[in-house]
Chains A and B, each alone.
Chain A
Amino acid sequence: MKAKGFKLVSAGLLMLVALTLFGYAKEDVTLTIMWADWEPAHLLLKLAKDFTKETEIKMRGNFVPWPQYHDKMFTEFASHRTSFDLCLPDSQWIGEAVEGGHLLDLTDWIKERVDLNNYPDMVMRSYGEYPDGSGRYYGVPGLLDFVLFAYRKDLFDDPKEKAAFKEKYGYELGVPETWEQIRDIAEFFTRPDKNLYGIALWQAPLATAGLVDEFLGLFWSKGGRLWSGREKKVVGYLNDEAGYEAAKLWAELYKYHPKGAANYSVSEALTAMQQGLVAMIATYAAFYPALLDPEKSLYHDKIGFFTSPAGTDPSGKKHHYVQLGGQGMSISAYTPYKEECKKFLEWWLREETQWKFAEAGQITPDKRVVENDRFLKLAPINKVVRESLPLLRDFWEIPEYNEMAEYMSRKLNQACLGQITPKEAMDDIAKKHEEILRARGYY
């Protein structure tokens, strides 16, 4: 009887231990992903239900409005404890995050699990690699984004407008292929008496989603250089003839903006287009759905898209670059769920997931998707995506980018408003950039 009782107690204890262990092994893991509060983030969370089905790892979002996104992420990083496990930092934030030790080093994992041939070099460099050319990776491609142009097809295709344009400028009115053509078309459609203006570009003095993001497409296409390369010398490079030409054309374009456009950023430019105030805008591609939404846009059925145009440098050589935006997907160095996060990245990079993302109208940099002709039919901007992918270029990714970009924005903003000349702006910027880099010990 005693033995029987002992056996029963032992069996009960064993069961308890087994249940505890089983319960432990089956502990609910929920990964939190931090991103800006916008459509791609909500779509990602929706698609992640497949990941949860497959792995039983739950996903939730911590989505922050764009204006507060950087500060929220980095104040959490600064406390060395994050409320999120995965994050999608804007491409230029990678240096700031890596230097602080806030992102998990994924180099070995990427070399083992990711086929880098699926992505253009510039995409891996901007979303994952730091420092440039080091071969150290801290993120995988997340959302591809870049600057594209939207235009009013009803104005561009109007036979009367076409005839008047040809008479004035001597060539056909159509989708512009050079920045000079952009200027001509913007000038042509600027009719303040009819409350119509040529163009709305981002002019706000912000480091993210501000003037610099859109100016640099023009700057590079005019042959501009931000610095000398490894030495990072700025004076004489940023403010060379090509730089002056780019700044001059940028300031000239401001004349064809709606009144008060000096603080335009994403929403102001989109609203200008939605309300029919302008003939053209430039914006990050990810925002295009807002232009085609009948609830928001009066001209939703009259809007077309084109690739950021080419330019020529002072020696006559042609250049064509498109400013890259978008975000990589990284793992917080402070998450206790590093392996689970890697599983999520692996799921995200699958061709099947990327197709689902593209089918929902979002933009992927995965060449397996973009180079397939089926991709062209998925969204009205996809032709532009394919054209822009090989032309992408990104700016500084060092931690000082914020101060450098903001200073550049402020000075060019002043040049647009006629407070200083474009040449003075570029000279000031070059001097200040060297000052910032010197203070941080780059030379």
Chain B
Amino acid sequence: MLDKIGGRVSDRALKWIFLIPTFLFLLFIVIFPLIWSLGLSFCDYNAARGGSPRFVGFNNYRHILSSREVWERFAITGRYVALAVLGEFVIGFTLALLLNREFYGKGLITTLFLLPMMFSPVVIGTFFRLMLDANWGIVDYLLNRLLGLPKIAWTSSPKFALYSLVICDVWIWTPFMLLMSLAGLSTVPRYLYEAAEIDRASWWFKFRYITLPYIAPLLILALLFRSMDALRFFDKVYVLTGGGPGEMTQTVPYYIYKVAFSYWRTGESCALAYILVIMIIGLSSIYIHYLNRLSAR
């Protein structure tokens, strides 16, 4: 049967037969909403009320870029991304260095380290909310009973709320950094270390001139993925802090959700989403620029 069809249809036609449905599907679920929302970002539109969008030019963008509230949320998001990605990188890379040797049970331990990444962030957020509760959470209980530290209102104090999100994110995504770092470390040829050993090179020399150049492109890629993901994170804020206390943990994606689905300022939320996308693209370009430079070496 297949031979029969193959006999009648050219390879070129067959290629299109397979490509067109996928292309149409992508057009429908990705490209169309993208173009539609871009159009809405220039309109005054409330999806809950319906009706026709009213074209307002760059008003939404002007309003957003001149709003102190929005810039405060960008600052919160920036702080969060920097702290979370840095934490994940440092811990993940350190663990990878420790795991990058042969020992009994290495496979099991590596798998256990990867577990947090496999759970749903919403479930983890809910658990963290309970664990970090100042009155019946295990974290404060241990800090208070074992170390005699005062209780900390992790998720609801202006000082610590952002850190509670960072801790939760670091717990979930450190395994990703660990995995990428381990993959990078496994590509470094052993003979280079052996040669360095013969020359009595120090640990730092080996790390700086052998390990790092080999794994840097993969690390930059890992940082790029994590930064992009952290910039658009929403679920943990929704579950863990609800954006509070006050406005202390209202990140840009959470604010976009509020503007879009609580205040129904659909046009404005689309404009804000595009500003975030442009920022993510800008940040990615910096990473990619460094990645290309490293690859060129």
Contacts and interface: CB of A to CB of B under 8 A. Distances in A.
Given A77-B48, A258-B135, A260-B157, 15 more contacts: A74-B48, A75-B261, A96-B264, A99-B49, A100-B48, A259-B134, A260-B135, A260-B156, A263-B241, A403-B262, A410-B247, A413-B244, A413-B245, A417-B245, A417-B246
B246 A414 contact: yes
A78 to B, nearest CB: 5
B44 to A, nearest CB: 10
B47 A263 contact: no
B156 A261 contact: yes
9 pairs of A and B residues whose beta carbons are closest in the complex: A260-B153, A260-B134, A262-B156, A414-B246, A259-B134, A262-B245, A263-B156, A205-B244, A260-B156
Interface string B20-60: 00000000000000000000000000111110000000000
Interface size class of B (residues with CB under 8 A): 20 to 34
Interface string B114-152: 000000000000000000011110000000000000010
13 contacts: A71-B261, A71-B262, A78-B47, A96-B48, A100-B50, A207-B262, A260-B134, A262-B153, A271-B136, A403-B262, A406-B258, A406-B262, A413-B244
Interface of A: 70-71, 74-75, 77-78, 80, 96, 99-102, 195, 204-207, 258-263, 271-272, 275, 277, 399-400, 402-403, 406, 410-411, 413-414, 417, 419
B169 to A, nearest CB: 18
A410 B261 contact: no
A100 B157 CA distance: 38
B135 A419 contact: no
A348 to B, nearest CB: 26
B35 to A, nearest CB: 19
Given A262-B157, A402-B262, A101 B242 contact: no
Given A74-B48, A78-B47, A78-B50, A414 B245 contact: yes
B154 to A, nearest CB: 7
B263 interface: yes
A71 B47 CA distance: 12
Contacts of A195: 135
B157 A417 contact: yes
B243 to A, nearest CB: 6
A271 B137 CA distance: 13
Nearest to A207: B262
Contacts of B135: 195, 258-260, 272, 275, 277
Contact of A263 (B50, B242, B262, B264): B242
B155 interface: yes
B248 to A, nearest CB: 9
B87 interface: no
A417 B158 contact: yes
A74 B257 CA distance: 14
Interface string B226-253: 0000000000000001111111000000
A258 B135 CA distance: 7
Contacts of B134: 258-260
Contacts of B262: 70-71, 207, 402-403, 406
A260 B154 contact: yes
A204 B134 CA distance: 15
A270 to B, nearest CB: 13
Nearest to A409: B244
Contacts of B47: 78
A205 B156 contact: no
A187 B292 CA distance: 64
Contacts of A96: 48, 264
A74 B136 contact: no
A235 B244 CA distance: 25
A205 B246 contact: yes
B149 to A, nearest CB: 13
Q: Which of B134, B155, B264 has the most CB of A within 10 A?
A: B264
Contact of B48 (A78, A406, A411): A78
Interface string B153-172: 11111100000000000000
Nearest to A418: B158
A74 B50 CA distance: 12
Given A205-B243, A277-B135, A414-B246, A260 B155 contact: yes
Nearest to A74: B48
Contacts of A410: 244, 246-247
B168 to A, nearest CB: 15
B242 A205 contact: yes
Contacts of A419: 158, 246
A400 B265 CA distance: 10
B2 to A, nearest CB: 42
Contacts of B158: 417, 419
B297 to A, nearest CB: 49
Contacts of B263: 400, 402-403
A189 to B, nearest CB: 15
A146 B135 CA distance: 27
Contacts of A272: 135
Contacts of A258: 134-135
Contacts of A204: 242, 244
